Amino acid sequence: MSTKSIITVFGATGIQGGSVAAIFLHDPKLKSGWTVRAITRDTTKESAKKLQQQGAEVVAADLNDKSTLIKAMEGASAVFAVTNYWEKCDMNLEIQQGKNLVDAAKEAGVQHFIWSSLLNITKLSKGKLPNVYHFDSKALVEEYAREVGLPATFFLAGAYMSNLPGAAFRRDAQADNAWTFSLPVSDQAVQPVFDAAADTGKFIKAAVLNRDKVLGKRLLGATDYLTHAQIVEGFKRVFPEAGKTAIYKQLPDKTFLEFWTKDQGVPDYVAQEVLENMYLFEQLGYYGGESLDETHALLEDKLTTWEEHAAKTSKWGEELN
């Protein structure tokens, strides 16, 4: 009979959950003591089959059906839970799904629930940034988990490095085709950058190995705080030829909003949400100015730097080769 502990990983075929599943399946310190129960809606898709081939127990569950969540968590020593606001862009739905996860964990007797959370920006900004729904929804679920007394740790994922190449950082025909990083805040705005696919698991490993120390606490999931100017400088170091003319350009709010509504086809409220998310970098700090040191002190694994991520990204295409 196996003596391994079980970690139930929600979103196991996604970015954060996939990173958590990978480290528990392959890390020498974890794989001998843990079984991964990978949760996905569709167990027949290729990514789910791949997890099964790597040794995970793949289980179907629905965030809108609490009975499936309880079943997914039964017997688990730890749970990593994440929801995807951007799938429906519905704050109330995300809150309900999060509460379903908390209630199911409570009912299943889970002793370490790790929730992918964020700060309440409406509260942090004293109402000045009231539309950053994907932060507030996760924060309200965190609040609920604390209220019901669930033994929990809260992982606050930083700004994804993978979101930088592409729409925000690309060649700009209006700037002599120079590589241009453009957002509606200044070059001194600060992002807590983070390679989510490579590094989420490293933080969750630290949480599980330091359970008693991190219960009730927040882990800040970021490698470093970088200004937008520093992000451009990092690009220049990685790609010296392409980076000769690389610049940062502050966009007018109107241009930024139109990009999201017209080019990306999102509703006005989502465009406003993304704009206020940008304001957060400059006005308050993504983590409200909190130091990363306490979280970093718990980690055993080296985090991916922005330059390392930039060097391996394929999003910039053949132009950088």
CATH number at residue 293: 3.40.50.720
pLDDT bin (cut points 50, 70, 90) of residue 175 is confident
Report pLDDT digits (tens) over 131-151.
999 999 999 999 999 999 999
178 domain residue, yes or no = no
Convert the pLDDT of each residue in 93-127 to its tens digit.
999 999 999 999 999 999 999 999 999 999 999 99
CA distance 168 to 295: 28
Is residue 175 included in any domain, yes or no?
A: no
Q: Considering the domain boundaries, does residue 239 fall inside one?
A: no
What's the pLDDT at 142? 98
The neighbour count for residue 249, using CB atoms within 10 Å, is: 15
Residue 275 lies in a domain: no
pLDDT of residue 1: 45
| % of the chain residues with pLDDT over 90 | 93
The answer to whether residue 261 is domain-embedded is: no
**Is residue 26 in a domain?**
yes
In a domain, 42, yes or no: yes
Task: Answer yes or no: pTM beyond 0.95.
Answer: yes
Q: Please say if the pLDDT value at position 82 is more than 90.
A: yes
What are φ and ψ of residue 35, in 5° steps?
-105, 135
Burial 194-222 (b: 16+ CB within 10 A, else e): bbbbbbbbbbbbbbbebeeebeeebbbbb
d(CA 276, CA 180): 21
Structural domain containing residue 81: 5-160+195-222+285-303
Output the pLDDT for position 67: 97
Q: Judge whether residue 299 has pLDDT over 90.
A: yes
What's the per-residue H, E or C state across 248-303?
EEECCHHHHHHHHHHHCCCCHHHHHHHHHHHHHHHHCCCCCCCCCHHHHCCCCCCC
User: Is 276's pLDDT higher than 90?
Assistant: yes
User: Amino acid identity of 73?
Assistant: M
Identify the band that residue 180 occupies on the pLDDT scale cut at 50, 70 and 90.
Answer: very high
Model pLDDT, residue 321: 54
Q: Is the pLDDT of residue 274 over 70?
A: yes
In contact, 183 and 278? CB cutoff 8 Å? yes
Count how many residues are written for the chain.
321
* pLDDT score, position 188: 98
Domain membership of residue 98 (yes or no) is yes
Query: What is the Cα–Cα distance from 147 to 182, expressed in whole angstroms?
Result: 41
Angle made by CA atoms 4, 198, 296, in degrees to the nearest 5 = 80
Mean pLDDT over each residue of the chain, to the nearest integer: 96
Collapsing DSSP to helix, strand or coil, 151 comes out as coil
As a whole number, mean pLDDT of residues 238-260 equals 95
Examine the pLDDT at 71 and tell me if it is beyond 80: yes
pLDDT at 3: 83
Total number of domains in the chain: 1
The rounded distance, in Å, linking the Cα atoms of 104 and 113 is 11
Phi/psi of residue 56, nearest 5 degrees? -80, 150
Across 256-265, average pLDDT: 94
pLDDT for residue 319 is more than 80: no
Res 227: pLDDT: 98
Residue 219, pLDDT above cutoff 60: yes
Q: What single-letter DSSP state applies at residue 321?
A: -
Least confident of 9-23, 36-50, 162-176, 281-295: 162-176
For 43, 87, 109, 283, 306, the CA distances from 12, given in Å and listed in that order, are 11, 16, 21, 34, 24
